[in-house]
Amino acid sequence: MSIQKQKFGNWLRNSISVKMITVGFLILILLIPLAFIKDLIRERESRQYEVVQEINSKWGGSVIINGPILKIPYHEYHEETIFNEETNTYLKAKKAVRRDAYFFPKTLDIQSKATTQSLERGIYESVVFNSESNIKGEFVAPDLSEKEVADEDILWKKATVLFQVSNLKGIRNTVKVKLGGQDYVLNPKFDNNFMNTLESGFIENLDGIQKNSMDFQSNITINGSNTLQFIPIGKETLVFMQSNWHSPSFNGNYLPDTEGKEITDQGFTAKWKVLETNRRFGQVFFDQLPDLSEFAFGTEFLVPVDDYQKTERTSKYGFMIIGLTLLVFLLIQISSKIAIHPFQYLMIGLALVLFYTLLISISEHKNYLFAYLVSGISVVSLITVYSRSILKNPKFTLLILGSMLGLYSFIFVIIQLEDYALLVGSIGLFVILSTIMFTSRKIDWSGLQDN
93: confidence class by pLDDT, cuts 50, 70, 90 = low
Look at strands 107-121 and 214-225 and give their pairing. unpaired
Q: Is the pLDDT of residue 6 over 70?
A: no
What does the pLDDT read at residue 126? 80
Listing DSSP states for 189-248 in one string gives E---SSSEEEE--PPTTGGGGGTS-EEEEEEEEEEEESEEEE---SSEEEEEEEES-SSE
Mean per-residue pLDDT over the chain, rounded: 84
Q: Residue 173 is which amino acid? A: N
3 CB contacts (<8 Å, ≥6 apart)?
none
What does the pLDDT read at residue 321? 87
450: confidence class by pLDDT, cuts 50, 70, 90 = very low
Residue 370 CA to residue 20 CA, distance in Å, equals 36
What does the pLDDT read at residue 305? 57
234: confidence class by pLDDT, cuts 50, 70, 90 = very high
Would you call the peptide bond into 68 cis, given omega within 30 degrees of 0 as the criterion? yes
What does the pLDDT read at residue 446? 57
Total Cβ atoms within 10 A of residue 19:
19
Given 3-state DSSP classes, what are the helix, strand and coil percentages for the chain, each rounded to the nearest 5?
45, 30, 25
Residue 348 CA to residue 340 CA, distance in Å, equals 11
Least confident range from 5-14, 31-40, 96-105: namely 5-14
Residue 373 CA to residue 385 CA, distance in Å, equals 18
Q: Is the pLDDT of residue 451 over 50?
A: no
The pLDDT > 70 percentage for the chain reads 89
What does the pLDDT read at residue 139? 92
Least confident range from 33-37, 181-185, 337-341, 385-389: namely 337-341
Higher pLDDT, 233 or 14: 233
Q: Is the pLDDT of residue 422 over 80?
A: no
Q: Is the pLDDT of residue 382 over 90?
A: yes
Instruction: Tell me what the mean pLDDT of segment 242-253 comes to.
Output: 90
Q: Is the pLDDT of residue 138 over 90?
A: yes
Higher pLDDT, 208 or 83: 208
414: confidence class by pLDDT, cuts 50, 70, 90 = confident
What does the pLDDT read at residue 449? 45
Q: Is the pTM of this model over 0.85?
A: no
Across 122-131, 328-337, 393-402, the highest mean pLDDT is recorded for 393-402
184: confidence class by pLDDT, cuts 50, 70, 90 = very high
Residue 51 CA to residue 410 CA, distance in Å, equals 33
Nearest to 200 by CA among 159, 251, 154: 159
Nearest to 312 by CA among 30, 27, 46, 26: 46
For residue 401, the SS3 value is helix
pLDDT digits (tens, 9 = 90+) for 284-311: 999 888 889 999 999 998 776 567 778 8
What does the pLDDT read at residue 7? 54
Alpha-helix runs per DSSP H in 317-420: 318-336, 342-363, 368-391, 394-416
For residue 379, the SS3 value is helix
Q: Is the pLDDT of residue 416 over 90?
A: no
138, HSE (Cβ side, Cα atoms, 13 Å) = 8
The pLDDT > 90 percentage for the chain reads 30
Nearest to 223 by CA among 109, 66, 112, 116: 116
130: confidence class by pLDDT, cuts 50, 70, 90 = very high
Q: Is the pLDDT of residue 90 over 70?
A: no
Enumerate the β-bridge partners of residue 101.
Answer: 72, 286
Q: Is the pLDDT of residue 172 over 90?
A: yes
Least confident range from 145-154, 181-190, 320-329, 367-376: namely 145-154
Residue 200 CA to residue 188 CA, distance in Å, equals 9
CA distances from 316 to 298, 356, 412 (A): 34, 10, 12
